[in-house]
Chain A
Amino acid sequence: MIRLILAGLRQRKLRAALTAIAILLGVAMVTGTLVLTSQITRAFDEIFQAANSGVDVRVSPRVDFESGGLRNVPTLPESMVQQVQGVDGVKKAVPELAALGSPVVNGEYVQSTGAPSFVFSLTPDPFRATQLASGSYPAKSGQVAVNEGLASSQGLSIGSRLGIATRTGVKQVTLTGTVTFANVSSIGGTTIVIATKEDVQRWFGLEGRVNSIAVQAQPGVSPQALARRISAALPRGVEVRTGQQDAADQAKQTTEAINTFLRPALLAFGVIALFVGAFIIFNTFSITVAQRLRELGLLRTIGASRRQVMASVVGEAFLIGLLAGVIGLFAGYGFAALLVWVFDVLLPGGIPVASAELSVGIALTALLVGVLVSVIAAVIPAVRASRVPPVAALREGAEIPRGRLSRFSPVFSGLIAAVGIVLIVLGLRSESAATQRLLVMAVGALLVFIAMGGLLRYLVPALARAIGWPLERLPGASGSLARQNATRNPARTAATAAALMIGIGLVAFVAVFAQGLKASVTGAIDTTLRGDLIISGKSFQAIPQASVAAVRATPGVSDVVAVLTDPARTDAGTRTTVFGLDPSAAARGLAFEWVDGSSDSLRDLTPREAVVEQSFADTVGATVGEEVRLRTGGGGTGVYRVAGIFRDRILFEDGVIVSQAGFARAFSARDPIFVLAAVDPGQDPVEVKDAVAKALTPFPVAEVRTNAEYRDEISSRVDSILYLLYVLLAMSVVISLFGIVNTLVLSITERTREIGMLRAIGLTRSQLRRMVRYESVITSGIGGVIGIIIGVALAWVFSLGLEDEGIVFRIPWLQLLIFLVVAVLAGVLAAVLPARRAAKLDPLDALHYE
């Protein structure tokens, strides 16, 4: 039986190859994701291990939960360094400071799109995470060393003057040396500036404070023992860890982000690609079983059992899956390299990457995925093959008896669709964790696509007529022949179109959803923000507090609201964001919809009061007059009486607004995340904006925009994510192309004799090519149209479910039209090879073909 399968595969090489490609690409995406994420996590491990190799123990402030990265890091008093130095077994204790600040070279702010810009305080050996590459470390105030990559890309040399954008303005300094970081050759676009401790403290308003304390143990004292001793000597609220532990913890944070977000997100696209591939495998095997009726019947007449016939089909699928797994494994490494390249374009140097490694786990995953998808997709065709009666060997035009349940298939499809829709709605309505809800909704969407694939065959004749209408109007018979060919086997055309339907459907879904998201956010900006200008930080950084005064002092600016934020949690663990702002300015500058209370509640806010957003109030069950207890990331607590409840599902969703004084009672953020400014009536906002920009020159991290510009900025951020999604979904569209190619090639083989007849009675080669191309376009058009309809429908259901979150439903007509054109072009492209094969057929051979 195995020899038979192998012989069959050899005989139909092209089909086997096209079929394998269908899953190969999906396997490559899955493997590539695993390879890439392990590359990234290993790179971070290496960086953190190397950077901490000289640190035996590190003392840092207690952090219960992440509070916005380096944006506002809690600090320790510098006096604690002496306290640590006094602990028995400590050889040396040194203060460490780290802040965010970009270099300014020749007046130009050096902005990296993805990677952070660090300013570190100089530490002595052996604590240094950097190695000197040239020159020397800064010896006194006004001197800095920078990473080698920055120096060479900006043309800096020893003795060059450059600026550092700090919390207290741009500081002019002299370059004394260049360094490499943690022996890692590339840390992407990350910039590193090393200055004296005193400079860093002054620049960032950290006088008398340090971020952490690095400790070297005396010989013979283990880091663990030393850590215990130091911990005992220090007050509560301080974290004491060994250097290794600290490195592992730092790496773990990054690794977790990658493993819980990047990896599942990328894997999802791999699964989609495999899903599309499964449709193609199913369809290809269905067609070949139908074409091999005689052969299968012959097997039965010479004594093969139904099980053996079934095994021959499943065995073929197994081999194709294995082939796809092996090649897909290697293609996966190519895909990982491609992703590294894509990330590099989107976030230049944003992500460090270690070299790729071949692991047994990844290899097994690739093989298993390839084989499983292929075999599962071939089960139904295999069962059908086993039903071929022996008499099929003898009789022309024998048919496979239909299964007992097959007449219920539209009912089944309907049920599957209903289950899918229910799952989506459940996911939308559910209160459980986001990942769980997403999974439930994804399974729901998957079921909807499967059901649609089953129902599509009933729509094919009508759709083919509609899409073929213009083609049939063209001179010559190619158009009507194509339409008739597309409808003669509706199930086949449906399954082929369904593969494309999935890709186009998801593309349309994200396009519609993103359009709604953009409309919601820009709408919220329009309705909530009464001011004219928004000042925000580049690369998601906070804006130095000192810049607020500069904005306020600008002529033409009438009112300024600076917004501080910190994450917080309730005792029950509910996450929220606390906003600290000037109540009376905020009452003028922000227009909320009030559920309980009014803008007066905001204006008259005392330091012990808060106004809360409705969804937060609902989650914790808070009403006006009650108190809410909020814990800070550093272990502090703030208690506020609810003075009002407002509704704002986009900008302040789930949030708690307190006064600046109230904020300072528990929270530590000093620099606002954004600043809103109103322009004096009668002043031109654009002119005032230019004046504000000039006033912000000492703080190049701050960027001022009019509301309209801010809206555009947000739209373009949504768009750039959208384009990334398009790129990842394009893979499924490409896979479905192979499906169309495969179906056309198989159909042409099946219709060889017909083609010979058509050529004999006068169909020219180009008419024949056109006939194949039109059939392809009708198929891809069906996939495109139905895909777009499902995508829009899914987006509509989602927007209904997310109505409470403020997400609206908007249809991007132009984009949808473009997708349809893409679908049609995909059809044209898919037809190239099959049309050429058809045209090459010698009419004489074709007529003799049996």
Chain B
Amino acid sequence: MGDATATNGGTGPAVSSEALGRRYGKGEAAIDALADVTIAFPRGQFAAVMGPSGSGKSTLLHCLAGLDRPTSGAVTIDGTPLAGLSDRDLTVLRRSSIGFIFQSFNLLPMISARENVALPLRIAGEGGVDDRVDAVLADVGLSDRAGHRPAELSGGQQQRVAIARALVTEPTVIFADEPTGNLDSASGQEILDLLRRAVDERGRTVVMVTHDPRAASVADRVVLLSDGRVVMDRLGMDADQVYDAVRTLDPA
């Protein structure tokens, strides 16, 4: 159904940052979680962001997604600069242009998988919900589990529901924060395949933070962060190359 150019319009990068900085604390004790990060993710790219603990990869993800406000620099999503957007406008932008996938799935426990997937559409008050939800559930292979509550699903299935929820609004970019972190390797592989397909078949942009070199190797591009700076940014790496790159940064 998707072809590679079916993005939400515009030809510039899906998301980009310009001299992005995020400082926590003040004075002597201040820590620069991000310093001068200028990066762009073109449409239809699967990027993995890696780095040791405290390298700033999660902060980068949050700033790019408009969840955290940078202390310096600028972020642009889908051609819209985030600086100066009100909370409401930012929320509406998240609603239309961004999808989220979390390490701990974050599904609502009291409603079914189908209702969880429908949630973003209902929040937006959009019509034609049922058809779109059915289609995306079929896409992640959960048509037969649609009526179940999260507690009745395996971890892998729950994360597939989360992916369906992220895909259903047809966002420009999907941010995934350690999406395989809580899963066994087989389930993790399924999730990575789904993300891969979202990029290849639907033209979504995926920015994934991960610890796992094998997960990163599925991506088109690997960005390595250390101490809040981009220390490596390469296309087409396999798992061993990623592993070596990470090891040089983090001897532990």
Contacts and interface: CB of A to CB of B under 8 A. Distances in A.
Interface of A: 475-477, 480-481, 484-485, 487-488, 753-754, 756-767, 843-844, 847
Given A762-B94, A843-B67, A477 B122 contact: yes
B33 to A, nearest CB: 12
B244 interface: no
B123 A758 contact: yes
A417 B56 CA distance: 61
B100 A476 contact: no
A844 B62 CA distance: 8
Contacts of B65: 760
Given A484-B110, A843-B67, A761 B122 contact: no
B160 interface: no
B67 A757 contact: no
Given A762-B91, A763-B91, A764-B92, A476 B110 contact: no
A476 B87 contact: no
A480 B102 CA distance: 23
A327 B67 CA distance: 43
Contact of A476 (B92, B106, B123): B123
Contacts of B100: 757, 760-761
A488 B123 contact: no
Interface in B114-128: 119-120, 122-125
22 contacts: A476-B124, A477-B122, A477-B123, A480-B122, A488-B109, A753-B104, A754-B108, A758-B123, A760-B67, A760-B94, A761-B99, A761-B119, A761-B165, A761-B166, A762-B91, A762-B92, A764-B91, A764-B92, A766-B88, A843-B67, A844-B62, A847-B106
A488 B125 CA distance: 23
B102 to A, nearest CB: 7
B183 interface: no
Given A476-B122, A763-B91, A847 B109 contact: no
Contacts of A480: 122
B68 interface: yes
Contacts of A475: 125
Interface in B169-210: 169
B62 A477 contact: no
B95 interface: yes
Given A488-B110, A760-B94, A764-B91, A844 B122 contact: no
Nearest to A759: B91
B68 A763 contact: no
A766 B104 CA distance: 26
Query: B91, B120, B169: which has the most chain A beta carbons within 10 Å?
Result: B91
B111 interface: yes
Query: B102, B108, B109, B111: which has the most chain A beta carbons within 10 Å?
Result: B108
Contacts of A488: 109-110
Nearest to A486: B110
Contacts, number: 69
Nearest to B91: A764
B89 to A, nearest CB: 10
B67 A762 contact: no
Query: B88, B95, B123, B165: which has the most chain A beta carbons within 10 Å?
Result: B123
Given A754-B108, A763-B123, A764-B87, 19 more contacts: A476-B125, A477-B122, A487-B110, A488-B109, A488-B110, A754-B106, A758-B123, A760-B67, A761-B95, A761-B99, A761-B120, A761-B123, A761-B165, A762-B169, A763-B91, A764-B91, A765-B87, A844-B68, A847-B67
Q: How large is the interface on B (under 10, 10 to 19, 20 to 34, 35 or more residues)?
A: 20 to 34
Nearest to B162: A757
A844 B175 CA distance: 14
A762 B67 CA distance: 11
Contacts of B119: 477, 758, 761
B110 A757 contact: no
A476 B68 CA distance: 25
A484 B88 contact: no
Contacts of A764: 87-88, 91-92
B110 A762 contact: no
Contacts of A843: 67
A844 B67 contact: yes
Nearest to A488: B110
Contacts of B95: 761-762
B92 A485 contact: no
Contact of B120 (A487, A762, A844): A762
B62 to A, nearest CB: 6
Contacts of A761: 94-95, 99-100, 119-120, 123, 165-166
A754 B43 CA distance: 29
A847 B92 contact: no
Nearest to B90: A764
A485 B111 CA distance: 10
Interface string B76-113: 00000000000110011011100110101010111100
A844 B59 CA distance: 10
A489 to B, nearest CB: 9
Contacts of A762: 91-92, 94-96, 120, 123-124, 169
Nearest to B175: A760
A753 B91 contact: no
4 shortest A-B CB distances, which residue pairs? A762-B95, A477-B122, A488-B110, A757-B106
A139 to B, nearest CB: 85
Contacts of A756: 106
Nearest to A474: B125
B185 to A, nearest CB: 22
Contacts of B104: 753
A764 B62 CA distance: 18
Contacts of B109: 488
B172 to A, nearest CB: 14
B123 A757 contact: no
B104 to A, nearest CB: 8
Contacts of B110: 484-485, 487-488
Contacts of A844: 62, 67-68
Contacts of B125: 475-476
B40 to A, nearest CB: 23
Nearest to B104: A753
Interface string B124-153: 110000000000000000000000000000
A760 B175 CA distance: 11
A597 B62 CA distance: 94
A58 B169 CA distance: 95
A765 B94 CA distance: 13
B154 to A, nearest CB: 15
Contacts of A753: 104, 106
A764 B86 CA distance: 11
Query: A761, A764, A767: which has the most chain B beta carbons within 10 Å?
Result: A761
Nearest to A477: B122
Given A484-B111, A757-B102, A760-B100, A765 B122 contact: no
A687 to B, nearest CB: 67
Contacts of A485: 110
A767 B108 contact: no
A843 B68 CA distance: 9
B155 to A, nearest CB: 13
A402 to B, nearest CB: 18
Contacts of A754: 106, 108
